[in-house]
Structure 1
Amino acid sequence: MSGKLTRRHALMAASLSPTLAAPPSLAQSSATQAWPAQPIRLIVPFAPGGTTDLIARLVATPLQERLGQPIIIENRPGAGATVGSLLAAQAAPDGYTLVLSNIASHGISPTLYPNMRYDAVRDFSHIALLTLNPSVFVANPRAGISNMADFARIHRASPRGLDMASSGAGSSNHLLIVRMGQILGREINHIPFRGAGPAMTAVIGGQVPLMSDSLPSAASHIRQGSVRAVAMSSAERHPSFPDVPTLREQGYDLVTSSWFGLSGPARMPQPVVERLSREVRAILATAEVRARFAEIGGTPGEFSPEEYAAFVTAEVASWAVLVRESGAQPD
């Protein structure tokens, strides 16, 4: 049989199987050029009400306006933010599923969870760093803890030590609690919640006296006086909260920052990644968004996709050392 494809053969093939008539590369190119042609799902791997959810909504609103398609936020908390992140890693890499990558899911959990089912670097297209921000220790105003001296005194005097909440096992705030207990010479009882929102509700209600939280999710509660800020994990006092002393000021050499970014499944079309990167960086440069980040205690990111991927790679390596040294275990 001749190896030549005649015009008649081509027409027959097209009529019998239209989807095979165009080469896959051309079909993919056409789909990429039309992106976005439908709503985009943004997975937030924590419960509503916490920092991750707050950052997602702050960026998603202007992003959907710029893209011309709705961005549907889907909260999928659990297991150190790995449940929602795995869902994103397994999604089709077509640009219609994104995830709020963060220090828990893509920095700490790769070491904390030895049987994790995704690779934080290889299984994702990393698009943009959204924000860096410190953690803050907050206390119920009736707990009698105004500073770290009170914290240490009450913790050592209590028969079972202090309870301290966080947004969940595997979060940077979980490890901060573990490390603080090591410095004090007595383990602090970690009380994990499925997100910062439920944890903060428990502290305000008096079910748990203390919480280690990311500053953006705690900021409004501090300003309202529903919780008392005890210490900040930044190297220096935060300009938005100049009255809150750092841990270092109070004799504890602990300096940490959490981070949040935008990622998608591996092998997303490069034009889609570049479009998202451009749009997000433009949003982060606006006066309105920068003012909002300053208000809640966050610093906007400025990384390209390549820089953000390199940043995530470095974070996995850095936190691996800290996780092993701390002896932290999933709750």
Structure 2
Amino acid sequence: MFIPTRRALLAGGAALLAAPRLAHAFPDRSLRVIVPWNAGGVTDILARAMAPAMQATLGQPVVIENRAGANGGVGAEAGARAPADGHTLFVSNADTHAINPFAYRRLPYDPQADFAPVSLFARVPFALMVGPSLPGVTNLAGLLAAARARPGALSYASWGVASASHLSMERICRAAGVEMLHVPFTGQAPGMTAVAAGQVDAMVLPAGGAEALSRDGRVRILAVTSAERLALLPQVPSLKEAGVDLVTGNWFAYHVPARTPAQVVSQLSTAIGAVLRQPAVVEVFRQQATTPEATTPEGLAEFVRDERQRWGDVIRAANIVLE
């Protein structure tokens, strides 16, 4: 018969007392969420919509920090170099974790070695819109006809060279056999503004942003890039319906610096899943034509591996190499 010693009893009691303290030790101060894009774009909108619910769930203030530049690379470097304690989260997407590694000769961060996956949180379909510089273009066939008539004369905006916006429009042009001039901006919002002002002819961007901009008639949405029509834009055909057999879009996820304790990563992943079920958050996502979706850290890692292969193929086909 085993009879525990006084030392064993004391050690066991200490372990039981320590477990709750470890579980509640994180977070012990405010959390920083780095958004690698300008304020006003869909990434910023969704992150700010989630922040109050994250604060309520985790019990600490959540501060959004916009660090735009280099197709998300400036913010990614800041996220990679942050302390690995879970108090800094980085909003990743296809650009930062699946495109940049193939588009740039050198990156100031390693998407795989410098980050630990936490959870996916959104899938984002795109829309193709035109502005007042093309008053006679009312559908995709009209845009493509105008582009064929003047090769390289029509322009399109993006939120950066080799961004998901740029590459998606490049894919549309290649599939349709047309040539247009690419005009990169430093974020989604500046590109949208340029199209609405008639300074640039067209843009592929998240469907929610295009829908909001189209309400006053300044821009016209020609197609969505999802497999089917969107509930937010039921009158707008998909690219396939409009004659271009292509599906594209973006996604957003949370990563933390590598070597963040697994217990903290798990706690953050669980919290994000809870946040995405909050009605106020779901409504903002609906308004942005965006689907909330949570994953485990392992699920996100597998998802990003697949995305790297998909976008890597696109980069190689476009022969894009950046310094």
TM over 0.5: yes
Match runs of 1:3-152 below 5 Å: 33-144=24-135, 145-152=137-144
**CA–CA distance in structure 1, aligned partners of residues 55 and 216 of structure 2:** 31
**CA–CA distance in structure 2, aligned partners of residues 69 and 302 of structure 1:** 21
> Residues 98-129 of structure 1: CA distance to partner in whole angstroms, max 9, x if unpaired?
11011110111111112123222222111111
Matched residue, 1:268? 260
Are residues 142 and 161 of structure 1, via their aligned partners in 2, closer, same or farther at CA, if it must alter by over 3 Å? closer
Which sections of structure 1, spanning at least 5 residues, go unmatched?
1-26
Which sections of structure 2, spanning at least 5 residues, go unmatched?
1-17
Are residues 131 and 181 of structure 1, via their aligned partners in 2, closer, same or farther at CA, if it must alter by over 3 Å? same
Q: 1:35 deviation in Å?
A: 1.8
Q: Tell me the number of residue pairs that the alignment of Structure 1 and Structure 2 aligns.
A: 304
TM-score, normalised by the number of residues in structure 1: 0.86
Conserved 8 A contact 1:140-1:206: yes
TM-score, normalised by the number of residues in structure 2: 0.89
Matched residue, 1:312? 304
**CA–CA distance in structure 2, aligned partners of residues 178 and 68 of structure 1:** 44
Q: 1:330 deviation in Å?
A: 4.2
Could you tell me which amino acid in structure 2 is paired with residue 122 of structure 1? Answer: A
Does residue 197 (structure 1) correspond to residue 189 (structure 2)? The answer is yes
Cα RMSD between the aligned structures? 2.0
Q: 1:69 deviation in Å?
A: 1.7
Could you tell me which amino acid in structure 2 is paired with residue 211 of structure 1? Answer: M
**CA–CA distance in structure 2, aligned partners of residues 171 and 61 of structure 1:** 29
SS at match of 1:292: helix
Q: 1:142 deviation in Å?
A: 4.9
Q: 1:30 deviation in Å?
A: 6.7
**CA–CA distance in structure 1, aligned partners of residues 211 and 50 of structure 2:** 18
**CA–CA distance in structure 1, aligned partners of residues 161 and 48 of structure 2:** 23
**CA–CA distance in structure 2, aligned partners of residues 330 and 221 of structure 1:** 31
**CA–CA distance in structure 2, aligned partners of residues 49 and 78 of structure 1:** 15
**CA–CA distance in structure 2, aligned partners of residues 183 and 265 of structure 1:** 38
> Residues 49-96 of structure 1: CA distance to partner in whole angstroms, max 9, x if unpaired?
111111111111211122222211111111111111111111110112
Could you tell me which amino acid in structure 2 is paired with residue 254 of structure 1? Answer: L
Are residues 32 and 92 of structure 1, via their aligned partners in 2, closer, same or farther at CA, if it must alter by over 3 Å? farther
Conserved 8 A contact 2:46-2:284: no
